[in-house]
Amino acid sequence: MPIIMCSKPSPIIFAILFLALLCNGASTVAGCIESERNALVDFKGGLRDHAGRLSSWTGSDCCNWQGVACSNRTGHVVRLDLRNPHPFSVTDDQPYNEWSMGGELRPSLLGLKKLRHLDLSMNNFGGRPIPEFIGSIRNLRYLNLSRAGLGGLVPRQIGNLSSLQYLDLYNDLDPSFSDQVREFSIDDSLWISGLSSLRHLDMKNVKFGDTSNPVQSLNMLPNIVEVRLSRCDIQSIPLSLPHVNFTRLSTLDLSGNWIDTPTIPSWLFNVSSLLHLDLSSNWFRGSIPAEVGNLSSLNVLALSDNKLQGGIPKELGNICNLQTLTLMNINISRSLPELGDVFTGCIKTSLENLELSRTGLRSYLPDWLGELTSLKTLFLGGNSLVGSLPESLGRLTSLQELVLADNELNGTVPESLGGLVELVSLDLSMNLLEGIISEAHLANLTKLLYLDLSSNRLVLKFSPNWVPLFQLYSLRVSSCRLGKKFPSWIRNQANISWLVMANAGIVDAMPDWFWILAVQVQTLDILDISENEISGRLPNFFSLIGLSELILRSNYFYGSLPKFSRNVEVLDLSNNLFSGTIDPAIGESMPSLILLSLSGNKLHGDVPSSLCQLQNVATIDLARNLFSGELPNCWRHFSQEHDLTVLDISSNNLSGGVPDTIGSLSSLEALHLSNNSLSGEIPSSLQGCKRLAILDLSQNKFTGKLPTWIGESSLPLRILRLRSNMLAGRIPQNLPRLLSLQIVDLAHNNLSGTIPKSFGKFDAMKVSRAYGGRVLPGFVSSYVESLEVVMKGGAIKYGESNGILSLVTALDLSGNELYGTIPREFGSLGGLMSLNLSGNHLNGEIPKEVGSMQSLVSLDLSRNDLSGAIPSTMAYLTFLSYLDLSRNNLSGRIPSGNQLQTFNESTYIGNHGLCGFPVKQICEDYNAETRNNNTSEEDGGGSEMWLPYLGTAPGFVVGFWVFWGTLILKSNWKHAYLRCIDRQYDRFYVIVALTLNRCKNSYF
């Protein structure tokens, strides 16, 4: 019998046999495990699934069910993915809502013993807390509960998941989306240290407690690679760590917190593995440390929006892999050319995104910017850069975004910018640029989507037949000159969404092709062609479903108002020639309105009561039209949370009373009903307007007493105008309790009694303001508050756009039946600009304390019974440009010095006892004084003294009469000149007042 010799088996044969057995074993698994199938069925029973996403969860083999995955070897469920396939979108939340799951998360999940992956993100579980049993699914490697509509305290039991590698609890659903949405919170972050296998942690928007210090817990995780903790209300991190355990950390995002440290912690610069470091939007102070250069692998460094100051360390320029550097809104305060040492290192070849907006940079744009040839974005807006745009910018051929807005750049725009063929966005707005933008600037920018040249002195000059190769998404060219014709090249822009061409010098009829294009492409979102001279009728906008803002203010559009889309949020057709009525059902047909401005037209009829159905509206401006009838009594329909801020129906033909229901508008900040024929008493229900800052009921027919409830209320009133009504009785003494009241106008009523001494206690009139601001504290969209204030003998209009209105202070009690003396307490009103007490029956002397009212620009005490001398202290009123003391019984010498003798005789007319310049009456003591001081001179001495001036006298006389003679003979020239001088003085006064107050603030 032959002996068979067996050689030693080959390892390859063993491997083949092992794989065969493995595959054979896998093929023997039939379906999922019964107990796990039952667990899934029970879990499904607690869910709300309107979209039927779990409709496949039938039959015995759960491994084939939607969202379920099993192990091929054991049959255990290892993966459950119920993520919503349609993420939440602010612009269109319908798919998200339809596909969201909700309901109860049942503990039957614990039956899935080998579950490694659980994803419930992008659903809406109605603010339910994360179940504690999640912490008992010990085999979990992946847990994603982000944006799932869960909320409340994150259970510490999650810290038991020692095998977990990926944890995502990011929650950014807006609570306004659903009243059931709640934020996640953590009371103690120590449990995070139990996640010993964790590599990825995303807890954006999870709120950490005051004492929670996540960094120390994270430092105990040896495998952590990515940490995202932005907007978590973290207030501090340690300045030092005894041992830095972040050996693998590549991404650290702590942005949007409240971290306040005297410097950026030094341990951060020992984490040499960092690729992405984001500390933006915190309170880090000090300077950027030179140790930042230790992070040699860094790709992204974001330090924007902190309290950092000082320069950029040159060591940063040696980080050869740095691609993104964002330092916006920190105080670098350096000359941009000085930073050349930083950006000429190896960083110049790697840097792709450089964001230095609003950092206090000054000087000119240096040529070394052109050496950053890898740049894709360059943001230098909001600085103090001057000079022209350098040709070297044309070398940045990879540039996609260039933002130089809000600087002081001047000169022309070089054609070399037209060589930036990759450019997607170009923003040169709010500078001093001038000259022509031609086709050569834009012809090669085929990828351009966003172009903003607004608020410059540029002239866009293209041939009529020019067809650009780009398709813009946004065009902003306000205050540029586009020519008188409506730009025809826009006809080819089929993707235009934002078109802003306000104040562009267009004098033309609106072309029909534009409206046809808008309807065809359906991309138009914002259209602003205000402040031009464009005419024409408007088509129906009902089919423009994407249009959200239509601003045609100050043009010559005419005809009746068309139908508008339900999606329009801003409708500003003010200062045109529209006629007809407002759609009675506007509240139903335009439910999205936030701003409605139809002022300055010829609209008539009733004010529609359906306005009260506009639950999102912040501003309703129907002023200066022909509306008649009574105000609708429907305002109670607004919800308590409603944001109606401005209601202006002034200068119409309204009659009747003020509806009590207006008092239910708790968010109202400005109520303008002036210049109508409203009557009755001022309703006490207005106390319900808790935020009311402006109440203007002037020029109506209101009767009764001036309400005492105004002073008793807690209203934040700043402007009270009740002039030209028929109010009677005494002036309430409690008005000065309104601490913010800066303009009080009660003129031309039938008020009687004495002026309350308490009127010397108006807090807002005691000190002049150095800086302007908003009179209306809330956000009122594009509405700009303006108001006529009677001073200097006429009405002057002040607006909020330049902050001037908030600086104006005035007290006007003229044209009433007041008697008694002028309160000496007025001397405390050192910030009052205008005081008008004319046309009353005031007697006694002008109190010397008036000289302490150092901010007075206008003082009118005419047509009273005042007597005695003009106090010499009035000579100290250095800003006084208008004074009227006429028609009183004043006597004595007009004080000399400063302003008082610069006024003409009409200022003092009707006071027969006054003497001295500028009146003709010579004071008796003047002749005696002249005689006593008169001395004879030597013969010829006087002539020699005047000889040098004899030659200049004829020239002065000729020049004087050429100038003033022209003004006398040409009355229109004269009035224009005087108006110009008066306007310039008002501006000069504000500038001087601001300067003086800044000086006071710096010294005291």
What confidence tens digit (pLDDT) does each residue in 363-420 have? 999 999 999 999 999 999 999 999 999 999 999 999 999 999 999 999 999 999 999 9
The Cα–Cα gap between 606 and 700 comes to 18
Q: Where are the alpha helices (DSSP H) in 663-719?
A: 709-712
The Cα–Cα gap between 195 and 156 comes to 11
Write down the pLDDT at residue 972.
Answer: 42
The Cα–Cα gap between 598 and 572 comes to 6
Q: How many domains does the chain have?
A: 4
For residue 144, tell me if it sits in a domain: yes
Asked which of 538, 559, 580 is the last residue of a domain, the reply is: 580
Asked which of 641, 674, 692 is the last residue of a domain, the reply is: 692
Q: Which two three-digit tokens encode residue 383? A: 């600085």
Write down the pLDDT at residue 777.
Answer: 66
In this predicted model, what pLDDT tens digit does every residue of 316-352 receive, in sequence order? Answer: 999 999 999 999 999 998 999 999 999 988 999 999 9
Residues 51-68: b if buried by 16+ CB within 10 A, e if exposed: eebbeebeeeebbebeeb
Say whether both 206 and 66 belong to one domain: yes
The Cα–Cα gap between 477 and 488 comes to 15
3-state helix, strand, coil in the chain (%, to 5): 25, 20, 55
| Beta bridge partners of residue 253, listed in sequence order | 228, 278
Domain region containing 828: 725-931
The Cα–Cα gap between 886 and 910 comes to 5
Say whether both 884 and 788 belong to one domain: yes
* Crossing angle for the helix pair 971-1003 and 952-969, to the nearest 10 degrees: 110
Say whether both 805 and 686 belong to one domain: no
Q: Nearest to residue 860, comparing CAs of 889, 884, 830?
A: 884
For residue 369, tell me if it sits in a domain: no
Say whether both 157 and 73 belong to one domain: yes
694, 761, 804, 826 from 831: Cα distances, Å? 20, 12, 14, 11
Say whether both 779 and 663 belong to one domain: no
State the residue for tokens 């409203």. Answer: 678
For residue 983, tell me if it sits in a domain: no
Q: Nearest to residue 210, comparing CAs of 228, 227, 230, 185?
A: 185
Helices (H) and strands (E) in the chain, counts: 14, 60
Please tell me whether residue 271 adopts helix, strand or coil conformation. Answer: coil
Q: Which two three-digit tokens encode residue 297? A: 């692998």
Contact between 406 and 430 under an 8 Å Cβ cutoff? The reply is: yes
Say whether both 99 and 130 belong to one domain: yes
CB atoms within 10 A of CB 981: 9
Say whether both 751 and 824 belong to one domain: yes
Asked which of 692, 712, 746 is the last residue of a domain, the reply is: 692
Say whether both 79 and 226 belong to one domain: yes
The Cα–Cα gap between 869 and 845 comes to 7
Contact between 267 and 247 under an 8 Å Cβ cutoff? The reply is: no
Contact between 751 and 724 under an 8 Å Cβ cutoff? The reply is: no
Phi first, then psi: give them for residue 535, nearest 5 degrees. Answer: -125, 170
Q: At a CB cut-off of 8 Å and minimum separation 6, what does 975 contact? A: none
Say whether both 844 and 904 belong to one domain: yes
CATH code for position 753: 3.80.10.10
For residue 608, tell me if it sits in a domain: yes
Amino acid identity, position 145? L
221, 243, 305, 498 from 234: Cα distances, Å? 19, 21, 16, 38
CA angle 221-184-276, nearest 5°?
45
- State the greatest distance between any 2 C-alpha atoms of the chain, in Å, as a whole number: 171
C-alpha gyration radius of the chain: 38
Contact between 551 and 576 under an 8 Å Cβ cutoff? The reply is: no
The Cα–Cα gap between 956 and 977 comes to 21
Mean pLDDT, consecutive 10-residue segments, the chain of 1004 residues?
44 46 44 92 95 93 95 95 84 78 95 97 93 96 95 95 97 57 86 96 91 87 96 93 93 96 95 97 96 96 96 94 97 93 92 97 95 97 97 96 98 95 98 96 97 98 94 97 96 95 97 93 95 95 90 97 94 97 95 96 97 92 97 81 87 96 92 97 93 96 95 90 97 93 97 96 85 62 77 82 82 97 95 96 96 94 97 90 96 84 90 92 66 41 33 38 43 41 47 45 38
For residue 37, tell me if it sits in a domain: yes
Say whether both 884 and 776 belong to one domain: yes
Phi first, then psi: give them for residue 411, nearest 5 degrees. Answer: 80, -165
Contact between 155 and 179 under an 8 Å Cβ cutoff? The reply is: no
Say whether both 680 and 750 belong to one domain: no
Say whether both 806 and 875 belong to one domain: yes
The Cα–Cα gap between 357 and 206 comes to 29
Q: At a CB cut-off of 8 Å and minimum separation 6, what does 136 contact? A: 110, 157, 160
For residue 729, tell me if it sits in a domain: yes
User: pTM for this structure?
Assistant: 0.83
Phi first, then psi: give them for residue 629, nearest 5 degrees. Answer: 85, -165
Q: At a CB cut-off of 8 Å and minimum separation 6, what does 954 contact? A: none
Q: Which two three-digit tokens encode residue 916? A: 């001295």
For residue 770, tell me if it sits in a domain: yes
Q: Nearest to residue 530, comparing CAs of 513, 499, 554?
A: 554
Write down the pLDDT at residue 767.
Answer: 87
The Cα–Cα gap between 882 and 326 comes to 53
